[in-house]
Structure 1
Amino acid sequence: MSERTHEMNVFLQEIKEKLKDEPKLYSLFETCFTNTLERTIRRYEDGTSFVITGDIPAMWLRDSAAQVRPYLYLAARDSELADMIEGLVKRQFSCILIDPYANAFNEKPDGSCWEKDFEDQDPGVWERKYEIDSLCYPIQLAYFLWKLTGRTAHFDETFRKGVNAILKVFRTEQYHEEKSSYHFTRHSLYSESLSRGGKGALVNDGCGLIWSGFRPSDDACDLGYLIPSNMFASVVLGYLSEIAREVLHDEELAKEAAAFSKEVHDAIEANAVASLQGFGRVYAYETDGFGQCRFMDDANVPSLLAQTYLGYEGDPEVTANTRRFLLSEANPYYYEGTAASGIGSPHTPTSYIWHIALAVQGMTETSKEEKYRILKLMAATDDNKGMMHEGFDKNDPSHYTREWFSWANAMYAEMVLNYLGYGLDV
C-alpha cells in the first residue's frame, strides 16, 4: 500500500495549517506519518496486511501495531486505512497461531531468521523471543479499531483461537518454573540469552505476575517479571473482556479476562512497589517476586514512563514518584547531554537517547509548553535526515543507530498529533 488516500491528503493539509508557523515540524511530520504507508505495508488479495519494521524485512507483532497506530486517528473517515489495519490484525493473529512464543515473523514461510535458535523453528518465524508485549499489541490494535470505527469483522475465528492461545501462554507463564518448557539461548550475544541454560532467573511461581523472557528491546529480562509488560497485559485483558461481552457475546470469556486483568493488576501493586531512597515508593522495572527488584527504565514501549500512555491506572503517588525517578540520573539509562536529555536503552550504546522515549515523555506530559519543547527537541535531533532514528548521542545527534526505523517515525507522528490535541478517544 503506497498511495496516499484523498482523506489522508486532506488530513495532511489540516495538520500543515495548524503548524504553519513550524515548517520543520510539519515537514518531518509528513515524512514520518506517510513513511510506514509508503514503504513498509504490503497488502494481499486475501485482505491481510504485512508490515516490515523498516531496515529489517520481518514483521514484529509489537512494532507493526505501533507503526500503524497514527492511522487510527484517520480510520473512522478513511475506509482504505481501516481496511489496511483490519488486514494487519488478521495477519497478526494468524502469526500468533503459528507460534504464540514468537515475536517476529516472515512474509513467507521461507525459513528466514535473525539467527537459527531452534532446530525445529517454524519457517514462518523470524525470531522466537517470548515477550508479553508481543501478545498485547494485537489485542490493543483490534480493540482500538473496533472502538474507533465500529468494525467487528476482525473478531473472527482466527481471533478467537489466537486469544485462547494468548491466554494459555499467559497462564502457563504465571507458573514458569513449574509448567513452562520455554527456553532461549543465543550464543552470539550474552544480552540475548536467558540464564540457567535458557530457563531464565528463578522467579516466584504463582505470585500473580506473568513471566517474560524478553523486554520490548528484545534484550533478555534479568529478573523475569517485567512490570511495564504486566501493566500492559492487565490493560489489554480488560479490553478483551469488553470485546468478549459486547462483540463475541461470550460471557465466560468476558468474566475470565476481567478476573485475569484484576489478578495481574493486584500482583503488580503487591510485588512491584518498593521504596527508593530520595523518591519514595516507586514501581520497579523488573522483579523476581521474591523481593529482588531492578530500578530502571528502557526506551522501548511498554516502559514505566509509558504507564499512562498504555492506560494502566496505578497508585497516583507511586506513579508520580516513579516518573520523577525515571527522568533523573538516578535511572541508569537517563542521559543528560549538550544536545538533549532523555531515556536510552542497554540495547544501544551508552549515552544514546531514543526518539521513542522522547515521544512517550512528551505524550505523557500535562503541560502543552513541555510537549512543545520535546517536539522541538525531537525535530532538532534528526541530523537533518527528515526521519527519526533509534538512538542518538546525547552530545552529537549525527551519531545515531538505525537510519530507518519506522516505529520511531510513527511515534514522532503521534507526538505531533498529541501536541495538537488529537486523541484516540476509546
Structure 2
Amino acid sequence: MTFTVEPPISAVLTAAAQRVREQLGDRAGLLVEQALLRTLTDTITAPGDGTAFVITGDIPAMWLRDSTTQMLPYLRFVGESPELAELLAAVVRRQLRCIVHDPYANSFNLTGNGAHHDDRDLCEDPYVWEQKYEVDSLAYPVILTHRLLRLAGSEELRRGVLDDTAHRALRTVVDHWRLETDHEARSSYRFVRDIGIPTETLERDGRGTPVGVTGMTWSGFRPSDDACTFGYNIPANLLAAQALLAIADLARTDLEDEALAADADALREQLLEGVRRHGVLEEGGRFVYAYEVDGLGGTLVMDDANMPSLLSLPLDAASVHDQAITAATRDLVLSERNPFYFSGSVACGVGSPHTLPEHVWPIAFAVEGLTGTRERALEILDLLLRSDAGTDRMHESFHVDDPTSFSRPWFSWADSMLCELALHLVDGPHPALAAERALSEALTA
C-alpha cells in the first residue's frame, strides 16, 4: 500500500519548509514543502513486510542509487523524528535484500511480476527490472545504512536494521567488489541489449571493453545507466572506498565481525591505491581525477551530471578523496574542458551523454551549490526555481536556452536535490558529512 505521511512526520517537514520560506522566499518554501511531501506519498509503497519500496518517479521500478539519494534530505531529521528514522530503516531493509538477491542488478520490481526495461535482456529474473551493473548501486545503500544508524542513534533501530540479511549484504558487497577487481579472469557477468544504441549494451558479447588489473573494481555502467567507455569509473571507486569505510565501522562497532572489517579495510586501501596510480593525471599543469580509465592506457577526461560524479566527491567520498586533486578537478569540470559542460543564455552547467546536447541537469547544479560557496549556492537555487517550466518540479535536464525543453516530467531524485540545497542554505551542511570526517580522522589518528 502507498505510504501515508502521519502528523509527526509532516510536522517536521513543514517546519523545515517554513524555515526555507522565511529565509529564502515563499516560492522556495513552497517547492521544498511540496517535494518533501510528494516524494513520501507518491514514490513509496509499504508492502507490509517491514520494507519500503521507492520508485524513481515516472518509472515504476526501484533504483538502489536513486532511492538512496531521494532520501538524502530526510536523513537530516532522523535524530528528531523516530518515525522518519523507521521509514528510512524500511528503505534500507529493502535495499539490502535486493543486494543479496542480485548484486549485479541496478533496479528492482516491487514483486516478482516479471516487468523489465527490455524483455530481450539476458536477465530473466522476475524481480529485476534491469541488470546494468554499476558499482554505486551497491555503495549508496551501504552509505545510507551507515548514516542512518549513526545519526538516529537508537539501539532498537540498529537491531531492526542490522539483521542477518544486512550482515550478508555487507559481506556480499565486499566479496563482489573484490571479485570484480579482476573482471577479465573472474567475472561471469554479461549484459547485451541489442537495440542499436552503443551506450545501452556492453562490447565483446556483453563483457565490456578490455581492462587490465589495477586494484580498482570494475563497473559495466555509469550512474547514468550508460555503458562505461573504460571499465574503471573513478568517482564510483572513490564512493566504494567510502562505503568500505562504513562497512568496516559497522562490522567492528555493531556486528562484531573483525574479519569483515579487515577485509573491507584492505579492499578500501587497494581501491584508493588503484585510483592514485591509474586515476590521477596531469592536466593544465595540475593533478586531476580522470572520469574513467582501463588500466591499459585508456583515459577519459569528463564528468557526468549523475552522482557519484567528480563534482560530488566532497559529498560522496568525504573521507577518502584528495582535497587538492578534487579542487583542481572541480575547475576542470566547471569549464569547457569538460565536454559535457554546456553554456547558454539561461544556464551554464554540467549535462550528460545520457541526455541531449545543450541540456544541463538540476542534480549537477545542486551538487555544484552544495560543494561551492554560499553565494554560488544562492545563485543556483534561484536558477533552479526559474527552470521548472511552470511545473513546480525539477526535471532530469533542461536546455541551456529554454527550460521548457526538458526531459522527464517527474524525476524524484532531482526534487530531493533541490530540497537538500535549500536545507543546506538554511540549516547548514548535512550532518552526515561531519560524522564521516570524524570517523576518518579517528581511524588515521
Which whole-Å CA distance do the structure 1 matches of 2:282 and 2:422 have between them? 35
Residue 211 of structure 1 contacts residue 224 of structure 1 at CA under 8 Å; is this kept in 2?
Answer: yes
| Letter aligned with residue 230 of structure 2 | L
Corresponding residue for residue 213 of structure 1: 220
Alignment of 1:95-244 (within 5 A): 95-119=98-122, 121-150=124-153, 151-152=157-158, 153-188=160-195, 189-205=197-213, 207-244=214-251
Residue 351 of structure 2 contacts residue 360 of structure 2 at CA under 8 Å; is this kept in 1?
Answer: yes
Which of 294, 306, 310 lines up with 1:300 in the alignment? 306
SS class of match (2:427): coil
Corresponding residue for residue 263 of structure 2: 256
1:264-295 CA distances to partner (integer Å, 9 max, x unpaired)? 1111111101112x352210000001232100
Residue 279 of structure 1 contacts residue 321 of structure 1 at CA under 8 Å; is this kept in 2?
Answer: no
1:69–1:315 Cα change, 3 Å: closer
Structure 1 residue 317 displacement after superposition: 2.6
Aligned length: 423
Corresponding residue for residue 439 of structure 2: none
Residue 98 of structure 1 contacts residue 122 of structure 1 at CA under 8 Å; is this kept in 2?
Answer: no
The answer to which of 259-268 and 339-348 deviates more is: 259-268
User: Does residue 410 of the first structure (1) align with residue 416 of the second (2)?
Assistant: yes
Structure 1 residue 10 displacement after superposition: 4.2
Which whole-Å CA distance do the structure 1 matches of 2:185 and 2:217 have between them? 13
1:76-95 CA distances to partner (integer Å, 9 max, x unpaired)? 22222111111111111111
Structure 1 residue 19 displacement after superposition: 2.9
User: Does residue 309 of the first structure (1) align with residue 300 of the second (2)?
Assistant: no
Which whole-Å CA distance do the structure 2 matches of 1:332 and 1:140 have between them? 30
Alignment of 1:345-360 (within 5 A): 345-360=352-367
Structure 1 residue 140 displacement after superposition: 0.6
1:16-37 CA distances to partner (integer Å, 9 max, x unpaired)? 2453251111111112222210
1:406–1:223 Cα change, 3 Å: same
1:18–1:379 Cα change, 3 Å: closer
SS class of match (1:30): helix
1:393–1:4 Cα change, 3 Å: farther
Corresponding residue for residue 440 of structure 2: none
Corresponding residue for residue 53 of structure 1: 56
Which whole-Å CA distance do the structure 1 matches of 2:332 and 2:285 have between them? 6
User: Does residue 87 of the first structure (1) align with residue 94 of the second (2)?
Assistant: no
| Letter aligned with residue 416 of structure 1 | A
Which whole-Å CA distance do the structure 2 matches of 1:199 and 1:126 have between them? 20
SS class of match (2:366): helix
TM-score (norm 1): 0.96
Corresponding residue for residue 41 of structure 2: 38
Corresponding residue for residue 21 of structure 2: 19
1:319–1:240 Cα change, 3 Å: same
Residue 269 of structure 1 contacts residue 314 of structure 1 at CA under 8 Å; is this kept in 2?
Answer: no
Which whole-Å CA distance do the structure 1 matches of 2:370 and 2:292 have between them? 23
User: Does residue 323 of the first structure (1) align with residue 330 of the second (2)?
Assistant: yes
Structure 1 residue 200 displacement after superposition: 0.8
Corresponding residue for residue 64 of structure 1: 67
1:141–1:202 Cα change, 3 Å: same
Corresponding residue for residue 395 of structure 1: 401
Which whole-Å CA distance do the structure 2 matches of 1:79 and 1:142 have between them? 15
1:221-244 CA distances to partner (integer Å, 9 max, x unpaired)? 001000000000000100100000
Identity %: 41
Which whole-Å CA distance do the structure 2 matches of 1:90 and 1:10 have between them? 23
TM-score (norm 2): 0.92
Corresponding residue for residue 28 of structure 1: 31
Which whole-Å CA distance do the structure 2 matches of 1:37 and 1:194 have between them? 35
Residue 7 of structure 1 contacts residue 77 of structure 1 at CA under 8 Å; is this kept in 2?
Answer: no
Corresponding residue for residue 339 of structure 2: 332
Corresponding residue for residue 341 of structure 1: 348
SS class of match (2:45): strand
Structure 1 residue 117 displacement after superposition: 4.2
